[in-house]
Amino acid sequence: MLGVTVFFAPTVLAKIATAEQRMTLAEVSMSTNVPNVGLVLGAGVLPSGEPTEYLKNRLDTAVALYKQGNIKKLLLSGDNRERNYNEPQNMRLYVLEKGIPDNDIVLDFAGLNTYDSCYRAQYIFGLSAVTVITQGYHLPRAVFTCQSLGIKTVGVAAVSDGRDFTVAYIIREHASTLKAFLELGFKPPATILGEKEPIKL
């Protein structure tokens, strides 16, 4: 019983701690005070380079926020560890087709996971505040992680959650949240750092 409590407690705590910082796209208006940079977390691309449905939903939400005037820049954070797998570049191509100007797009090629994306948003890109965009089930962990790393964070749920209420996804998210709490206890550097590239607004 204790083990079950330990496994699920971080998710409950993250949801409670971030309740006021999470919202849907419909709840965001021109008057809502959200940070100017939208941090879009990667969610995989297909062999063709096309974003997965999960990632498309995140990118579509970011595009909508940009066109509403809520955010001014997109920080597209994903995996580029292998030469033939470039998640951020394919994210860029997708939002370019949706009408986002290239000079308002910033790519993070070393956003290997949620922790690294948040860490690098502050350390590499010099951000003290972000609007993080991901699926609703992932949002408490993402917002909590960024906040715990010292970033003022508002989270906006992607326009469609997809299959995130299946048992496998729920268990995986609980496990990932537990891992996040352990990481945040020590706050190790991101897997890959590099030269600082402050985002200018």
Mean pLDDT of the chain: 86
Global pTM value: 0.88
Residues 6+ apart with CB under 8 A from 160: 53, 57
| DSSP per-residue letters across 4-61 | HHHHHHHHHHHHHHHGGGEE-GGG--TTS---SEEEEEP--B-TTSPBPHHHHHHHHH
Q: Where are the domains of the chain?
A: 21-185
How far apart, in whole angstroms, are the C-alpha atoms of residue 81 and residue 110? Answer: 7
Query: Phi and psi dihedrals of 186, rounded to 5?
Result: -110, -25
Fold of 21-185: Rossmann fold (3.40.50)
What amino acid occupies position 131?
A: T
Q: Are 62 and 40 in contact (CB under 8 A)?
A: yes
- pLDDT at residue 171, rounded to an integer: 66
| pLDDT tens digit sequence for 100-158 | 999 999 999 999 999 999 999 999 999 999 999 999 888 999 999 999 999 999 999 99
- pLDDT at residue 1, rounded to an integer: 53
- pLDDT higher at 26 or 3: 26
